[in-house]
Structure 1
Amino acid sequence: MDAAQAFNEAVTALHEGRFLDSQKLCLEILNQDPRHFGSLIIMATLHQQVGNFQEAINLLTHAGSFQLFNDWQFVLFARALAAVGRKGEAVDQYLKALVANPDIRATTPDLYALLEEKRREPDLPHHPFPSPPWKASLVADRAFMENRIFTPMPDTYLSHWPISNWVALRAAMATCGIDLATYDINPPETSDLIFYVNVNSMRHLPEGEEISRSVLLAYEPAVVIARNRDTAVHEHFAKVFIADDSLVDNVKIFKMPMAYCEVPATRPQFDARSKTKLCTMVNSAKYWPYFNELYSQRMALIRWFEEHHPEDFEFYGAGWKAAEYPSYRGAISNREKVSIQAPYRFAVCYENNSDSPGAITEKIFDCLLGGCVPIYWGVPNITAYVPKTCFIDRRDFATNEELYNYLKGMGDDELQGYLDSISDYLVGDRCRYFTDQCFASTILRQVLGMLP
């Protein structure tokens, strides 16, 4: 029988309590395909049932490295970790399960008790607020009041804002009895937690007792809001979440996963032969004067292509004047950013600046999800997050002409190698760091101990 039939029989045997038969079938499948996700999950389940928790953990770690878990698979992982005393890691996995399915709390009382135990560990001085449910206030720009930050917006209005990660954060907090709402609904003065989205969103810097319940979510990079990385400003918060690796100490300042990627359910199949155009770029016409800014480098590349090879370049985005840029093809909606890049072999992907380690934006993920090889320039430690085989590093070329010659000379086989690496990355463990689920569970994990 083929692998699909064997796996169906293994599932049936598991449900009927014929564990040895299920194990035998899964081992046969894994001998042929060591990455067969379903068989790894069944084997982990069987090991956990007989108390081989470490082996279950090993199998689940392997399975999770190339496919995203569902809620019950996160629970399975959490229970195995808890059984060997790794309670902190167990809580992390359980929080991910709650983000995936808030209703799972009712059917996992053992793990919910563990979450409560970890939440009550001493972290910061507690404050005299009412018992749960707790209230959390989200202080953001006025455009997001009335909980609009949790509501998808039309493409024509603030559509660049990644609403889904705030929805995930709100859902995750609700599972723990925390009501998260914008500050016009849950006033900061009467809330147990206060989340400030960027420094420029606040009425004033927190002072006095308010500091111990205030959290800064420094979402925008310093090139846009310089005070987000001001250490003097950070003193006004109990905890700070920021994308810039150079500021993270994991005591007060924590790395904030930027939720930009929706992991595909299956491995994408990109075909180099379907790429009919050479190069594109998707960027708005913005400019902030900042040390090591890359806005001017984008504009220089546009002008270089228009002067030397106008037939090989087109770009899109809001705010550009068509009369001034012959290669401009118009504004597009946020939802079109991935699909518009699909016909192109390469996409110019320059961040806003080049001096913020770890501060990766959505630009590179729009390229990757569209099956378009990014020409990347920005985060100096980009390979800590995205493999070198998935993009072209602009820093490897002295001039735009040298870069162009490399792009133009690349054959389909070499391009397919990049595309295959991108496909592997998008369904792998490293990419999941940039998901709504990771964003929500990371923040929730750190603020639970702040509750009274």
Structure 2
Amino acid sequence: MLIGSIIGWEVGQDDLFNPQSPRNRDDCLEPFRVLKAQALACGIELHTLDVIHSQGKEPDFNLYIESIPLITQGQGKNYLIRFETELTVQANADAVYLQQFDGIFTWDKNLLEANPQSLISLGLAKAKLHAMTIPNPLPAEFSPHQVVNLGFSARPQFCILIASNRHANRRDERELYSERVKAIRWFETNAPSDFVLYGHGWKVPQKRFGMLGKMRYRLAKVPPFLMGKAVFPSYGGPVNSKFTALSQARFSICFENARDIRGYLTEKIFDCLFAGCVPIYWGDPEVEKAIPKNCFIDFRQFQSYGALYSFLKDLSAEDYQAYQIAGQQFLASPQFQGFSSAAFAQKIIASIQHDFALT
């Protein structure tokens, strides 16, 4: 029996595999339960590192969830599951850090498709890189055979945005955290009755990067406090279920944390499609290669938020339902299966089996 550890989950104690974990919001931990089950079926035992050590064992390999300092040099093979971009997790662009791993699972097409010479300059071998998509658990309420709340009438909210108030961790023109705030402010000013903001951290001003950004953030907190006004008047609080919130809205502003990074396609657009909400998307420049263009509204096609709003208001009931039906058909198709928890687990297990000559 091969033994593997998971590193990077704060709680430990196999909490990553616990469906009752308080951190399992919207069943976001399902991919790791599937990974554990598929691993066991292939003769591989998976636990968080603390559980393995409590059993007096040492792992044959370690799976790091996102980039944290390596703590297992010389203790089995080390793999990195690289979920985020370097704008959010800066170590993801650190060649010295990446060189420490025996394998890297990533969605990053620029890295995966780089020519061997470019990889050599980074100190990486092509064989170390494994293509991966960010997994998307199916909500319990989702049905592949029926669109949730088909049409306008069952959706009382016109447009929403669900995100946390955060910032990029390096200066980069591709970041979209600040663009989300622009969208929020446009709707609050021009169409306040047609927009609701959800998520964590919006009782305070926009979070900003760097010393100057922190100073601007602190200064921006003062006027709303003195005047007793909400910083973001559209704020409706956090949501217990993204599916429930999205199923009540016609449209959702669906911007990734960063744009123009090939392969960076996260759960945001899938969350909308599951709930029958039409996403207004900006992020992966090649999104249409993964998701048919009739499933979403491409924000890049509009020169302003005013132009976008006019398009949304003029959309007929028939055209709106066409978006919803196209999204449902995509989710029921083999094309979506590459973004499932099962595909995520299969990719990781197959690579580990190959490295340990188990196949």
The answer, yes or no, to whether TM exceeds 0.5 is yes
**After superposition, where does 1:51-66 map in structure 2 within 5 Å?**
none
8 Å contact kept, 1:390–1:422 = yes
Please report how far the alpha carbon of residue 396 of structure 1 lies from its aligned counterpart in structure 2 after TM superposition. Answer: 0.8
8 Å contact kept, 2:34–2:342 = yes
Q: 2:136 matched to 1:260?
A: yes
SS across alignment from 1:171: helix
Name 1:280's counterpart in structure 2. Answer: 160
Name 2:90's counterpart in structure 1. Answer: 226
8 Å contact kept, 2:30–2:137 = no
- 5+ long unaligned stretches in structure 2: 114-125, 205-229
Name 1:324's counterpart in structure 2. Answer: 231
8 Å contact kept, 1:169–1:441 = yes
Name 1:46's counterpart in structure 2. Answer: none
Name 1:446's counterpart in structure 2. Answer: 351
Aligned amino acid, residue 258 of structure 1: I
C-alpha distance after superposition, 1:126-181 (max 9, x if no partner): xxxxxxx12112112332x11111112455x4636721111111111111211111
SS across alignment from 1:259: coil
> Whole-Å Cα distance in 2 between the matches of residues 160 and 140 of structure 1?
20
> Whole-Å Cα distance in 1 between the matches of residues 200 and 277 of structure 2?
21
> Whole-Å Cα distance in 1 between the matches of residues 51 and 325 of structure 2?
47
Which residue of 30, 50, 59 corresponds with 1:164? Answer: 30
SS across alignment from 1:185: helix
Q: 2:257 matched to 1:352?
A: yes
Q: 2:205 matched to 1:298?
A: no
8 Å contact kept, 2:3–2:46 = yes
- 5+ long unaligned stretches in structure 1: 1-132
Aligned amino acid, residue 187 of structure 2: F
Q: 2:309 matched to 1:399?
A: no
> Whole-Å Cα distance in 2 between the matches of residues 365 and 266 of structure 1?
13
> Whole-Å Cα distance in 1 between the matches of residues 95 and 70 of structure 2?
17
8 Å contact kept, 1:193–1:451 = no
SS across alignment from 1:258: coil
Q: Which is further off, 253-262 or 278-287?
A: 253-262
Q: 2:135 matched to 1:251?
A: no
Please report how far the alpha carbon of residue 265 of structure 1 lies from its aligned counterpart in structure 2 after TM superposition. Answer: 5.0
Q: 1:260 to 1:237 in 2, by over 3 A?
A: same
Which residue of 147, 154, 177 corresponds with 2:43? Answer: 177
Name 2:213's counterpart in structure 1. Answer: none
Aligned amino acid, residue 268 of structure 1: Q
> Whole-Å Cα distance in 2 between the matches of residues 260 and 229 of structure 1?
24
Which residue of 189, 192, 200 corresponds with 2:60? Answer: 192
> Whole-Å Cα distance in 2 between the matches of residues 407 and 354 of structure 1?
22
Name 2:78's counterpart in structure 1. Answer: 214
Aligned amino acid, residue 285 of structure 1: N
Please report how far the alpha carbon of residue 289 of structure 1 lies from its aligned counterpart in structure 2 after TM superposition. Answer: 4.1
C-alpha distance after superposition, 1:20-78 (max 9, x if no partner): xxxxxxxxxxxxxxxxxxxxxxxxxxxxxxxxxxxxxxxxxxxxxxxxxxxxxxxxxxx
Q: 1:357 to 1:415 in 2, by over 3 A?
A: same
Which residue of 151, 159, 165 corresponds with 2:18? Answer: 151
> Whole-Å Cα distance in 1 between the matches of residues 157 and 317 of structure 2?
13
SS across alignment from 2:50: coil
Please report how far the alpha carbon of residue 247 of structure 1 lies from its aligned counterpart in structure 2 after TM superposition. Answer: 1.0
Please report how far the alpha carbon of residue 370 of structure 1 lies from its aligned counterpart in structure 2 after TM superposition. Answer: 0.9
Larger radius of gyration between Structure 1 and Structure 2: 1
SS across alignment from 2:152: helix
Q: 1:424 to 1:160 in 2, by over 3 A?
A: closer
Q: 1:161 to 1:422 in 2, by over 3 A?
A: closer
8 Å contact kept, 2:26–2:242 = no
Which residue of 250, 261, 269 corresponds with 2:147? Answer: 269
> Whole-Å Cα distance in 2 between the matches of residues 354 and 269 of structure 1?
29
Which residue of 191, 197, 211 corresponds with 1:315? Answer: 197
> Whole-Å Cα distance in 1 between the matches of residues 339 and 43 of structure 2?
25
8 Å contact kept, 2:90–2:169 = no
Which residue of 376, 385, 402 corresponds with 2:290? Answer: 385
> Whole-Å Cα distance in 2 between the matches of residues 338 and 158 of structure 1?
14
Name 2:215's counterpart in structure 1. Answer: none
Tell me how large the CA RMSD over aligned residues is: 2.2
Name 2:341's counterpart in structure 1. Answer: 436
Please report how far the alpha carbon of residue 343 of structure 1 lies from its aligned counterpart in structure 2 after TM superposition. Answer: 2.3
Which residue of 305, 309, 315 corresponds with 1:410? Answer: 315
Q: Which is further off, 309-318 or 219-228?
A: 219-228
Q: 1:286 to 1:398 in 2, by over 3 A?
A: same
SS across alignment from 2:52: coil
Aligned amino acid, residue 255 of structure 1: A
SS across alignment from 2:81: strand
Q: How many residues align?
A: 312
Q: 1:441 to 1:248 in 2, by over 3 A?
A: same
Aligned amino acid, residue 90 of structure 2: A
Name 1:342's counterpart in structure 2. Answer: 247
Q: 1:230 to 1:384 in 2, by over 3 A?
A: farther
8 Å contact kept, 2:255–2:281 = yes
SS across alignment from 2:5: strand
Name 2:226's counterpart in structure 1. Answer: none
Please report how far the alpha carbon of residue 327 of structure 1 lies from its aligned counterpart in structure 2 after TM superposition. Answer: 1.0
8 Å contact kept, 2:88–2:169 = no
SS across alignment from 1:279: strand
Q: 2:48 matched to 1:141?
A: no
> Whole-Å Cα distance in 2 between the matches of residues 312 and 304 of structure 1?
11
8 Å contact kept, 1:219–1:243 = yes
Name 2:122's counterpart in structure 1. Answer: none
> Whole-Å Cα distance in 2 between the matches of residues 189 and 198 of structure 1?
24
**After superposition, where does 1:63-74 map in structure 2 within 5 Å?**
none
